[in-house]
């Protein structure tokens, strides 16, 4: 439910990974997506009540939506859990963020109550910090730690010819989750002055992306990245795209905990480097460009285990 149609390609990577996982691990079930227009018009649930049977599973998308940063979607989740209280509901790996002020803490308490009220709800978390926070928040909700579903696309977008790689791609946030001010202006100037060949962009599509358009948009994005010698990013799905395409990457902090906490999944990846400040990027980019043999982390055991969690809770 609430499959994305917005421009963030990272969320579309999650949706493709989720669909692929369901097809691989739930072959006896029909997979049906409803796009994110449904959380803008809750009258949709009048139809859902008529169509959904008790034995049907309700799936909620993964990502970084839980919290008061994207409150519209959070309110939708609470309503879905209230209306679909006879069904098993499973939310794919999420990050959690509630601001420290009065609004954030009020919404945190409301979320905890709404999630715990459902009799059969499993919430997956995609980073340790979010999992630890969930342990504090929830008393009845079933919890599980698992990598981001976009990582289930592994092996689908590997470059065929390494010698076609040229230049470095700066995949930098332009929204409210950016941590370093003016990074998209200062960093290109710095790297260009050091004679690095760079291009600048983000994980944003040019326009809204429908379910039908999604596979081609994601494939085009990842195949373009697979032609780069290295990536510099403060996007979590910039990091994931680098892992999927075996592209050396320098990762910077974004707002919140999802990158420093989420990086723990990538331990053992010898082509992934964390820059604790923008000043460290040039030196780490030099190391990244020198990577020849790249050893990717193995995420497959986590996704196999996810099927057991799905059925057993």
For 260-278, the pLDDT digits (tens) are: 888 889 987 889 999 988 8
| Contact call for residues 259 and 31 (beta carbons, < 8 A) | no
For each of the chain's 313 residues, which pLDDT tens digit applies?
888 888 899 999 999 999 999 999 999 899 988 888 777 777 787 778 788 888 899 999 999 889 998 888 899 999 999 999 999 999 999 999 999 999 999 999 999 999 999 999 999 999 999 999 999 999 999 999 999 999 999 866 666 666 678 899 998 877 655 656 677 778 888 888 888 888 888 888 889 999 999 999 999 999 889 889 999 998 999 999 999 999 999 999 776 677 888 888 998 788 999 998 888 999 999 999 998 888 888 899 999 999 999 988 6
CATH code reported for the domain at 155-289: 3.40.50.2000
Q: Do domains 9-152+301-312 and 155-289 have the same CATH topology?
A: yes
Q: Which two structure tokens, joined as six digits, stand for 281? A: 């990027």
Q: 182 - beta bridge partners?
A: none
Asked whether 288 and 128 are in contact (CB, 8 A), the reply is no
pTM of the prediction?
0.91
- Where are the chain's structural domains? 9-152+301-312, 155-289
* Helices within 2-101 (DSSP H only): 9-25, 44-51, 71-83
Topology of domain 9-152+301-312 in CATH is: Rossmann fold (3.40.50)
Bridge partner residues of 232 (DSSP): 170, 250
pLDDT per position as a tens digit, 159-177: 666 667 889 999 887 765 5
């Amino acid at each position: 439910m609430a499959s994305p149609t917005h421009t963030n390609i990272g969320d579309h990577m999650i949706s493709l990974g989720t669909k692929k996982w369901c097809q691989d691990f739930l072959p006896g079930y029909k997979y049906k997506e409803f796009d994110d227009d449904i959380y803008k018009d809750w009258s949709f649930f009048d139809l859902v009540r008529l169509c959904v049977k008790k034995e049907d599973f309700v799936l909620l998308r993964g990502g970084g939506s839980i919290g008061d940063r994207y409150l519209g979607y959070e309110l939708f989740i609470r309503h879905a859990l209230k209306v679909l209280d006879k069904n098993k509901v499973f939310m794919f790996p999420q990050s959690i963020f509630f601001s420290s002020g009065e609004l954030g803490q009020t919404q945190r308490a409301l979320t905890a109550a709404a999630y715990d009220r459902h009799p059969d709800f499993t919430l997956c978390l995609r980073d340790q910090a979010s999992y630890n926070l969930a342990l504090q928040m929830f008393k009845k909700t079933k919890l599980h730690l698992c990598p981001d579903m976009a990582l289930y696309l592994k092996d689908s977008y590997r470059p065929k010819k390494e010698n076609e790689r040229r230049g470095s791609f700066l995949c930098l946030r332009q929204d409210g989750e950016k941590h370093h001010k003016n990074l998209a202006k200062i960093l290109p100037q710095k790297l260009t002055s050091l004679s690095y060949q760079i291009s600048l962009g983000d994980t944003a599509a040019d326009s809204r992306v429908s379910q039908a358009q999604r596979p081609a948009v994601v494939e085009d994005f990842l195949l373009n990245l697979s032609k780069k010698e290295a990536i510099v990013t403060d996007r979590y799905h910039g990091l994931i795209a680098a892992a999927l395409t075996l592209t050396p990457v320098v990762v910077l902090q974004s707002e919140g905990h999802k990158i420093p906490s989420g990086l723990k999944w990538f331990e053992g990846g010898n082509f992934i480097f964390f820059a604790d400040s923008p000043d460290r990027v040039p030196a780490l980019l030099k190391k990244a460009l020198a990577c020849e043999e790249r050893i990717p982390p193995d995420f497959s055991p986590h996704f196999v285990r996810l099927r057991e969690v799905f059925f057993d809770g």
